């Protein structure tokens, strides 16, 4: 044999480190690194061996394929789909038709038998391609080469290895290398042969140690579906998704921020007949509505993700977010990491430039799904139902399909946007669209039916986790702001937030935390059910409401726990996004007519002539008509602070009319484990009633801080119903009476050493009002996110005229 010695053709994972990428490729090098370095920290990786890049080169050389491949790929135009397909097929066919050298076959066979050990039946293995240039920090090579599962027996293994070698020249791999400027002949293919994890009997998925949409670094995103993992990677199913907060996970807490049930339509399992290795079968309706992982399993995977990321970060000398694949063995119940590679999109984001897309107006919504990319695009729809039709796709169109796989990559780079029926945020379409900088909406369910060829649409991924397909070409603008030159004012600049889906993205805006987190949004959009309807579910007389509640709370025999969990998850997203900065949660401030509109709510709410100044805020919390509902709110807050460890969460009491009411509410909270001062709990009060100003010294004695609600305060000082169009022109927060009262309460708070901020609309609408507040030496100003940057500039300008040292 000419060239390398046989020992250079086979390497066991235990003998491989990340430095061996030139020899065994990125996947195998990372598997070896984890086997060697992280097994002692509890991270489980299935054993196996690598067939090296030298073995690939030896095969190509011995089969005399070099010249043929060079000639076939010369002068290739990757945008000519037909030509690309013809040439790629010719190269792959030549590799598959050649014969593996006899000595290489023997070496592979010996290693396979060693991996099998004393087992009486042929070992089932996963055969994974591992290119020597893959998984680089600026190029993911996601799905470029093939992976084969449930390969049993030496003959099948040898055939599969040859198919892996050929997959270095799939159409998508050829196109990707050409577009990225990689020389085909400076890249070789190694193969990983790894014990199968029997996730066909359990579940599997993908894990990122960074939020894939916003680039928020302190979260782990886990996707999970039943069966073998290819369905999740390829987007064949819409998986469950779980978000875990890293910071308090590492301190022993259980910070699962979000659990979303995916439809998990199919599962990939072993095929015991018909000659195929695996097959897809439907998942039963009962299993589809269940979560694939338990809380303990979610947390174990997230801890492993942190261990892997910390290891690679230390090795590389900089943060190294990771993209991992995991599997659960249905026989043993054990979890395993089966692949690990660098995350290649968000980790390269420039943190000094803030880019935000804003839709000018909305139109009819044609489809919705999970948003990918935080951008907006317009274009004509092109529905592509199979890979055979990809030649029809034109540059700048919106690609609409059931799902994508790596064969679609040559047209994905030409798309204005991508829409799929199936898949989650870690599927192929999502990963590739991020890398290409193309907005995508995945998991729409019916996108290919709802959208028609030639229809002009606007694809918006800039409104949180939900992506919207709007009718027509809508106007939008893009704002790019350099944060390097922005100063930091003495006055704290905070944000008013409601939507948990936007929290991670908005956390990148320079801020001092959240001055107003609105609970009502979470209840209206995520819970939708009146808390008392959950507490009294069995006694509900409204049959339609009862049926809807039963459907929405499937999997919750304890109906009130649904309210607690959903509320806690929404609040935790807000608290985690800004941790360790203060996040001040205003407890529920619905009016009785708004509570009545929740599912099952009419049976529990009074009919009031003027709900704006009726049964709302503090008066509800200790009243027998709502006490039990308020208890659920308290349980959710306690869960966020204690179970998840997010002690930066503060709470705020709205519409507290008297000092006596404030004491009653705090007594009610204490019954449910929320005592002021314990575990750092601070309790604020809204300053939105004239009595809060007049009796500010007394309120300051029982609360940790005030937040001025300028809308209600203006309404009650001027006697103006802010909902009345007739007297609307009189409503003005800049009225001298309003400003006088605000100046008075700020002065009182400062005299008593009590914090005071504002979360009302006025400083967001009027920069001069923000300047007035700075002149009064207010501690913090909480603003709508889209006004933070411009108002910060106005505050900085005003502070130049206000003596320093005015803020404690």
Residues annotated as catalytic (active site), given as ranges = 428, 759
Token output for 448: 């290919």
DSSP track, 416-453: SEEEESS--TTSHHHHHHHHHT--EEE--SSHHHHS-T
Query: Nearest Cα to 621, choosing from 600, 644, 637?
Result: 637
Instruction: Record the tokens describing residue 503, joined without a space.
Output: 């929290």
Q: What gap in Å lies between CA 408 and CA 190, rounded to an integer?
A: 24
Are 321 and 212 spatial neighbours (Cβ–Cβ below 8 Å)? Answer: no
Torsion-angle region of 274 (φ positive above 0: left; ψ -120 to 50: alpha; else: beta): left
d(CA 633, CA 535): 13
Structure tokens at 9: 């053709």
Phi, psi angle pair for 726, to nearest 5°: -65, -45
Please identify which residue in the block is written with the tokens 């338990």. 294
Q: How many CB atoms lie under 10 A from the CB of residue 526?
A: 15
Q: Are 415 and 439 contacting, i.e. CB atoms less than 8 angstroms apart? A: no
Q: Look at residue 358 and give its three-state secondary structure.
A: strand
Calpha distance 780→162 (Å, rounded):
66
**CB-based contacts of 235, cutoff 8 Å, min separation 6:** 403, 404, 405, 420, 422, 423, 424, 427, 428, 429, 430, 442
b/e burial code for range 346-366 (CB count within 10 A of at least 16 → b) = bbeeeeeebebbebeeeeeeb
The Cα-based distances of 270 to 122, 196, 330, 407, 455 in angstroms read: 14, 11, 13, 24, 41
**C-alpha angle 126-429-73 in degrees, rounded to nearest 5:** 75
3-class secondary-structure state, position 400 = strand
Alpha-carbon distance of 516 to 522, in angstroms, equals 13
């Amino acid at each position: 044999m000419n060239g390398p010695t046989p020992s250079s053709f086979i390497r066991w994972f235990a003998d491989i480190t990340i430095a061996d990428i030139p020899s065994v490729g990125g996947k195998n090098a990372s598997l070896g690194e984890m086997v060697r370095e992280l097994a002692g920290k509890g991270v489980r990786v299935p054993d196996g061996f690598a067939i090296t890049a030298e073995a690939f080169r030896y095969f190509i050389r011995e089969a005399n394929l070099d010249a043929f491949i060079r000639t076939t790929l010369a002068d290739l135009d990757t945008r000519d789909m037909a030509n690309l397909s013809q040439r790629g097929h010719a190269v792959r066919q030549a590799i598959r038709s050649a014969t593996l050298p006899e000595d290489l076959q023997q070496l592979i066979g010996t290693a396979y038998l060693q991996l099998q050990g004393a087992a009486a039946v042929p070992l089932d293995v996963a055969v994974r391609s591992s290119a020597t240039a893959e998984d680089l920090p600026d190029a993911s090579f996601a799905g470029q080469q093939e992976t084969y599962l449930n390969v049993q027996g030496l003959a099948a293994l040898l055939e599969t290895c040859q198919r892996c070698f050929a997959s270095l020249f799939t159409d998508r791999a050829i196109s990707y290398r050409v577009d990225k400027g990689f020389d085909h002949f400076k890249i070789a293919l190694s193969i990983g042969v790894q014990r199968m994890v029997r996730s066909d009997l359990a579940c599997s998925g993908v894990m990122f140690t960074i939020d894939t949409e916003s680039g928020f670094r302190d979260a782990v995103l886990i996707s999970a579906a039943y069966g073998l993992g290819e369905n999740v990677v390829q987007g064949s199913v819409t998986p469950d998704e779980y978000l875990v907060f890293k910071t308090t996970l590492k301190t022993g807490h259980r910070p699962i921020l979000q659990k979303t049930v995916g439809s998990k339509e199919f599962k990939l399992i072993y095929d015991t007949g018909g000659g195929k290795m695996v097959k897809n079968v439907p998942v039963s309706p009962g299993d589809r509505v269940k979560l694939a992982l338990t809380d303990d399993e979610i947390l174990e995977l997230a801890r492993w993700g942190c261990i892997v990321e910390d290891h690679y970060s230390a090795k590389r000398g900089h943060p190294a977010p990771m993209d991992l694949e995991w599997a659960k063995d249905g026989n043993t119940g054990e979890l395993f990491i089966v692949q690990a590679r660098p995350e290649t999109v968000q980790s390269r984001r420039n943190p000094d430039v803030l880019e935000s897309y804003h839709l000018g107006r909305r139109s009819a919504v044609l489809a919705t799904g999970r948003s990918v990319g935080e951008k907006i695009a317009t274009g004509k729809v092109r529905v592509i139902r199979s890979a055979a039709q990809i030649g029809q796709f034109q540059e700048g169109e919106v690609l609409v399909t059931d799902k994508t796989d790596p064969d679609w990559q040559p047209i994905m780079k030409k798309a204005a946007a991508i829409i799929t029926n199936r898949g989650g945020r870690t599927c192929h379409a999502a990963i590739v669209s991020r890398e290409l900088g193309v907005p995508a909406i995945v998991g729409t369910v019916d996108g290919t039916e709802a959208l028609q060829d030639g229809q002009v649409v606007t694809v918006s991924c800039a409104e949180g986790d939900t992506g919207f397909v709007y009718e027509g070409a809508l106007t939008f603008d893009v704002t790019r702001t350099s944060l390097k030159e922005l100063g930091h004012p003495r006055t704290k600049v905070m944000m008013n937030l409601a939507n948990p889906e936007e929290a991670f993205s908005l956390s990148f805006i320079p801020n001092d935390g959240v001055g107003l987190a609105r609970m009502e949004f979470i209840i209206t959009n995520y819970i939708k059910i009146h808390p008392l309807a959950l507490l009294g579910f069995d006694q509900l007389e409204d049959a339609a409401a009862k049926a809807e509640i039963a459907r929405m709370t499937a999997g919750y025999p304890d109906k009130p726990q649904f309210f607690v969990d959903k509320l806690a998850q929404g609040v935790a997203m807000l608290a985690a996004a800004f941790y360790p900065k203060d996040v001040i949660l205003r407890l529920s401030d619905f009016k009785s007519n708004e509570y009545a509109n929740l599912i099952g709510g009419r049976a529990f709410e009074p009919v009031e002539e003027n709900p704006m100044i009726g049964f709302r805020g503090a008066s509800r919390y200790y009243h027998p008509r709502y006490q039990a509902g308020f208890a659920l709110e308290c349980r959710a807050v306690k869960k966020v602070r204690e179970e998840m460890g997010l002690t930066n969460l503060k709470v705020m009491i709205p519409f507290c009319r008297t000092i006596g009411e404030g004491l009653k509410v705090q007594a009610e909270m204490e019954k449910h484990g929320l005592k002021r001062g314990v575990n750092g709990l601070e309790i604020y009060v809204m300053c939105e009633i004239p009595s809060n100003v007049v009796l500010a010294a007394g309120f300051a004695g029982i609360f940790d801080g005030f937040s001025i609600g300028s809308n209600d305060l203006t309404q009650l000082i001027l006697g103006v119903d802010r909902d009345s169009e007739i007297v609307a022109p009189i409503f003005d927060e800049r009225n001298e009476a309003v400003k006088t009262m605000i100046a008075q309460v700020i002065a009182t708070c400062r005299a008593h050493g009590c914090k005071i901020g504002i979360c009302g609309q006025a400083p967001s609408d009027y920069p001069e009002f923000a300047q007035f507040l700075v002149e009064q030496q207010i501690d913090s100003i909480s603003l709508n996110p889209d006004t933070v940057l411009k108002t910060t500039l106005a505050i900085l300008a005003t502070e130049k005229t206000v003596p320093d040292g005015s803020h404690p």
